[in-house]
Chains A and B, each alone.
Chain A
Amino acid sequence: MAEVVLRNVTKRYDNVEAVRSINLHIPDNEFVVLVGPSGCGKSTTLRMIAGLEELTSGDILIGGEVINDLPPKDRDIAMVFQNYALYPHMTVFENMSFGLKLRRFPKEEIKKRVDQAARILDIAELLERKPRALSGGQRQRVAMGRAIVRNPKVFLFDEPLSNLDAKLRVQMRTEIKRVHQMVKTTTVYVTHDQVEAMTLADRVVVMNGGLIEQIASPQELYHRPKTRFVAGFIGSPAMNFMRCRVEENGVGLRVRISDAVSLPVPSSHLPRYKGLTGKELIFGLRPEHITEPRRGAGEGISEFSPTLDVVEPMGMETIVFFKVDGQEICGRVDPGSAAGPGESMRLSANMDHMHLIDPATGAVL
């Protein structure tokens, strides 16, 4: 068992609290991604798990054992760094076997493990090369190989794909997922890229300002964010936010965005939003829920015709921008049906996916 538990973990640098009493339980073999903007404390958390930063308070447990005071080498972890951190004077084989040599593994065992990892990562033909003779992607594979050969309890990844170009990043993302499926090991992965987080994670931990905003599976995080921060951070383009007021409309409710625009709340949402009548709130709706009208529209669909400001063709879809009461809104439409900038376009808002957010607390209601 190699579950990782963070219990009230805090890290303070002078007067700055980088991580504020966070609690996290990562079961054995789970792939958890810590995601958030720069300075949110995700890398600090990872480095505390690695033993590269001391905790100000709290406990970190690996496999049920408190490891707060253990040096990194005794934590049975392996880490992959953003800039690979390969030893430049050593060959790929030497890089991968360095940790095993220090732990006095027999030569045959070292060779067996390196060969096995090299096969998994498809770098068997690179073993005699020095890091400078490798491409970025190959270097990242070697860095992963160095982690794999150790067969550690926990893999730690610190933004490992940030130095790669966009195409290679996608390839390596798949590679990391494939390797995790083959080498079942508890993994903590740090990134600021929400696409990486969503595609790789069993569960995503969204951090902001040293706090955990939400821990959830990618799907749950996307569809049921708990805070405005999570709602805005996850998803690209980001969720639309508009100031609104909830009004009664006979037996139903309407979300009034401006004097001219109000949208009906679907009946399935009424129990949840009934007590919010008259309150000034923030209305949230993802761009893919603002699209061209489709056949078989249900109760939650509400149509309107804004004038488009900007049209961004993306190939498989077109992103359209327009303003409602001075607030910029983004929608995703079929490339064939998109109007041009300055033109009016019939769009529909799928209110089944609406969110209402308390502007004071940022909580999704």
Chain B
Amino acid sequence: MSTAALPLRTTGAFGLRGSLSRNRRWALITSYVFLVVFAIFFLIPPYYMVVTALKSDAEVAHMATNPWIIANGITFDQFRILLTQTDFLTFFKNTAIVTVCVVVVTMVVSVLGAFSLGRMKFWGSSILATGIFLTYLVPDTLLFIPLFQIVKALGLLNSYWGLIVVYPTLTVPFCTWIMIGYFQSIPKELDEAALIDGASHMQMLTKIFIPVALPGIIAATIFAFTVSWAAFVYPMAFLYSADQQVLTVGTVTTLIRGDVYAWGMLMAGALVAAAPPLVIYAFLMDYYIAGLTAGATKG
């Protein structure tokens, strides 16, 4: 009986393995098909930007040529003119100053806020934490009207310092939320051990929590950087002179005159503007994903 049963079981097991292997192969093929489709879909705009930025104005304007290829040779004129004959570098500098300041302010406030809300349990801390996240859900298109009054009252209208005051209203809630999730995922015995070792709460934060939560902090930093670098509505509302303007609005207002679009320079400007976030994402992508995941699942 047992000898008859054995081959049957073995065949069954092999059959199951074969089926699993086939299923896995099909799952992989399907995944790759979708990945390739999505990759092409998302890479078309950057490709179009690169191609257009490397064409002359004449070729861009010539309707008969194929817009997807460079027919008359590569030229860097668009970049040269953009950097030498427009305020692009001023916009870039202003954006960099605003972004660095916003990232610093955001991280200081978020890390301190998240540490107190996530680890130092006190009455109402969880409601406060939820409340902070809820403020993130109010869109900036609604907020800019009351914020305009505040920025004006502070005397910061038409100054990029106004953006440094305003942007943290977008970045702090989300970054705090990510950091709360991250801090909460750290075992409580770690701060208890630090307390017994003689650490103050500030030492606990700086010597234990910040190093341990570095992936979360990097994720939050990247988020704050991206929001600050790419914000459009607030600079559009609060800034109106070129010397204070930032990249997003400055590029558009300088290079679009009425219905005349300087397409080549617009694309060159977009490429240069996209470079810093691209570099940061490329280097810190793993941290970003790890940080976001921890925040999402353990918050």
Contact = CB atoms under 8 A, between A and B. Distances in A.
A272 interface: no
Contacts, number: 57
A69 to B, nearest CB: 15
B284 to A, nearest CB: 18
A102 B187 contact: no
Interface stretch (B6-14, B103-111, B196-204, B242-250): B196-204
A52 interface: yes
A344 interface: no
B208 interface: yes
Interface in B179-213: 187, 189-190, 192-199, 203, 207-208, 211-212
Nearest to B191: A85
A98 B212 contact: no
Given A83-B187, A88-B212, A102 B193 contact: no
Nearest to A147: B196
Interface stretch (A73-81, A232-240, A297-305): A73-81
A361 to B, nearest CB: 38
Given A87-B208, A89-B211, A72 B196 contact: yes
B193 A73 contact: no
B192 A81 contact: yes
Contacts of A98: 194, 197, 199, 207
Chain B interface extent, by class: 10 to 19
Interface in B197-254: 197-199, 203, 207-208, 211-212, 214
Nearest to A150: B197
A157 to B, nearest CB: 13
8 contacts: A50-B192, A52-B195, A52-B196, A73-B195, A73-B197, A79-B196, A87-B208, A102-B198
A64 interface: no
Contacts of B214: 89
A103 interface: yes
Given A87-B212, A88-B212, A71 B189 contact: no
B212 A73 contact: no
Interface in B74-101: none
A73 B190 contact: no
A293 interface: no
Contacts of A52: 192, 195-196
B211 A83 contact: no
Contact of B198 (A73, A81, A83): A73
Interface residues of A, number: 23
Contacts of A73: 195-199
Contacts of B194: 87, 98
A102 B197 CA distance: 8
A238 to B, nearest CB: 32
A136 interface: no
Interface of A is mostly: loop
Contacts of B189: 81-83, 85
A306 interface: no
Nearest to A143: B193
B196 A78 contact: yes
A89 B190 CA distance: 12
Contacts of A103: 198
A2 to B, nearest CB: 16
Nearest to B196: A72
Contacts of A82: 189
A51 B199 CA distance: 14
A99 interface: yes
A99 B212 contact: no
Given A73-B199, A102-B199, A85 B193 contact: yes
A77 B214 CA distance: 30
A50 B208 contact: no
A193 B27 CA distance: 48
A72 B195 contact: yes
Nearest to A156: B196
Given A73-B198, A73-B199, A87 B190 contact: yes
Contacts of A87: 190, 193-194, 208, 212
B187 A85 contact: yes
Contacts of A72: 192, 195-196
A88 to B, nearest CB: 6
Interface string A95-119: 0001100110000000000000000
A181 B207 CA distance: 34
B216 to A, nearest CB: 13
Contact of A71 (B195, B203, B207): B195
Contacts of A51: 195-196
